[in-house]
Amino acid sequence: MVRQVIGKRPIKQQESIYAVNLKQLNAETSNVDMVIMIHDDPVVDIILETYEDGPELKLHHADGVADILVINQVEHLFFQRKYPPCKLQIIVPTDVAACWQIRSGSGDISVGQLITDSIHIKSGSGDVDIFEIKAHKACFKASSGDITARKNKLNELQFETSSGDVEMETIHGNIMGKASSGDIVLTNQQGDHMELETSSGDINVKNSVVKQAIYNASSGDIEVEHFKTEQVSMRTTSGDMVIRGFTGEMKGSTNSGDINLSHISQFMLDLRAHSGDVTIAYGQASNVAFDVKTDSGEIINKYPMQVHQQTKNELSGVIGDGGNLINVKTSSGDILLHS
């Protein structure tokens, strides 16, 4: 039975510092949630909602650096008891510092509407939520916590999770991210470069325009929808690839996973599969050159073309002037071409 700790009176600790000439702001908690928000006043207001003998606020400010720390005064040894909730609020001018360092153990982190040169956020089991931030460099890390980000302009973004999921929407800038067992979902991205990697997690990218992209998944799937690029490389081991609405040059490879493409236009496709099947539905494309081969799989073509060469294991041909290229090679997997 969970009981409220008797006699633990809720209290509030407050500190303020002037924001003038503040170069770096560091904030760290253990199991306390942290919320960073903006206001128009030229001061940094710090509010800790805690309880008697509970987490305590410490502040150090010197030489343009402010350190905000929440520490536990005593260890909680009785896990069956329920302690009052705690929260750290940091309220700042939007461009208060050129550098941010934010850390939490099991507490959640929420940060919004900052303008800065660099921001680094690290969480253990707590979740991380970032919105409407403008920064040259950003780094977000979480262990089992999730990372969500929306409407951010970040020249360079790096993120990493272990078992937590990553969900990002409307990010402008270059992205490099990794996840182990967590999924990565990105929507409405724009940038010059995007590199994503997962182990057992899935990669899902929608409605994005990126000059160059690299997606690698081991046992996870890769799903791309309404994606435009100059060049993309996709690789899976046992995971499947599903691409819907694609424009650009693509190199894709998988071992036992399947590859399925549909609604493609202005494309150059170089696809490799071992035991997985490859299915391509290229719609009403009027200029396509084909070169497909399989070792022991089957080739099924349901689209009229001018055939140059056709055997049991090979098919080459053209529609129109052959401006778009489809090059497919499988070992034991089948190849299906249709409209």
Burial 304-332 (b: 16+ CB within 10 A, else e): ebeeeeeeeeebbbbbeeeebebbbbbee
Q: How far, CA to CA in Å, does 104 sit from each of 129, 209, 314?
A: 13, 33, 57
178 phi and psi, to 5 degrees? Answer: -135, 145
pLDDT at res. 291: 96
303 part of a folded domain: no
319 part of a folded domain: no
pLDDT at res. 9: 85
28 part of a folded domain: yes
pLDDT at res. 85: 83
Count of Cβ atoms closer than 10 Å to residue 283 Cβ: 13
Q: How far, CA to CA in Å, does 177 sit from each of 81, 91, 172, 182, 198?
A: 38, 29, 15, 12, 9
Which residues, at least 6 apart from 135, have a Cβ–Cβ distance to it below 8 Å? 114, 115, 116, 117, 118, 119, 152, 153, 154, 155
116 part of a folded domain: yes
Count of Cβ atoms closer than 10 Å to residue 1 Cβ: 5
pLDDT at res. 8: 75
Q: How far, CA to CA in Å, does 114 sit from each of 130, 141, 151, 206, 334?
A: 10, 18, 12, 26, 52
- Can you read off the two tokens belonging to residue 176? 């490099």
Q: β-strand 115-123 against 99-104: which pairing, if any?
A: parallel
Residue 88 belongs to domain spanning: 1-154
The number of distinct structural domains making up the chain is 1
pLDDT at res. 74: 60
Q: Indicate the pTM of the whole model.
A: 0.92
Q: How far, CA to CA in Å, does 216 sit from each of 86, 146, 161, 211, 239?
A: 40, 20, 15, 17, 10
135 phi and psi, to 5 degrees? Answer: -155, 150
Residue by residue, pLDDT tens for the chain (339 residues) are 334 445 578 899 999 999 988 999 999 999 999 999 999 999 999 999 999 889 999 999 999 999 999 998 665 544 445 667 899 999 999 999 999 999 999 999 999 999 999 999 999 999 999 999 999 999 999 999 999 999 999 999 999 999 999 999 999 999 999 999 999 999 999 999 999 999 999 999 999 999 999 999 999 999 999 999 999 999 999 999 999 999 999 999 999 999 999 988 888 999 999 999 999 987 766 789 999 999 999 999 988 889 999 999 999 999 888 889 999 999 999 999 987
